[in-house]
Structure 1
Amino acid sequence: MAEKWFEVEKGDVCQAFKKFVDTWDEERTLIQGEGESVGDSEVFKMKANDVPFSFRRVGSKHSLIFGGKAELIAESTYEFFKALCLNFFEESKPNFS
């Protein structure tokens, strides 16, 4: 059984981010964001109820930025959140008729 991201990540920034995520209400939390991939780097700049956070990859280093602080994270944690961000972007595209 695979470990959950918050079981893998023990740093202060990740634990603060987990507490923040735990406060989200699926029906009331407004999530916004954008992603960019340039060369050997990716960034996902997100907001939940106007609180910014981001996930970044530069080469083989992965990080979470939250609360004005950055912390290196495992590649598996980054890939988990990258998939969530990409899914969010796909689902939030406007439908025009």
Structure 2
Amino acid sequence: MPHTFDADIIAAVLRHMNGDHADDNALIARAFSDDGEDEITGATMTGFDGDGGTWSVTRGGTASELRVAWPGGPITERHAVRREVVAIYDLACARLGVEPRPHD
């Protein structure tokens, strides 16, 4: 059973990802989607647990769920969420041949 984070932690991460990193969500969706990256018109992060993140991906007006496992394996600590989301972003950039921006 994957670790479950507190609702306030999940809400804060989702607010940050969807408010400050909307383009990154789309990049992740394009990189990890099996249905073709060109068809994706939108993506929002909708959740996460200790095993990975979940995004709602829109293609031609139809939404579907995308699940991406944390690259470093299962996590249980809040600080690990950022590390793993950054790792997914970096992997997405590598898959798409995009230069990743520096991380603070």
Short-chain TM bin: 0.3 to 0.5
Q: Which has the higher strand share?
A: 1
Question: Larger relative contact order (C-alpha < 8 A, sep ≥ 6)?
Answer: 2
TM-score by length of 1: 0.32
TM-score by length of 2: 0.31
Q: Which has the higher helix share?
A: 2
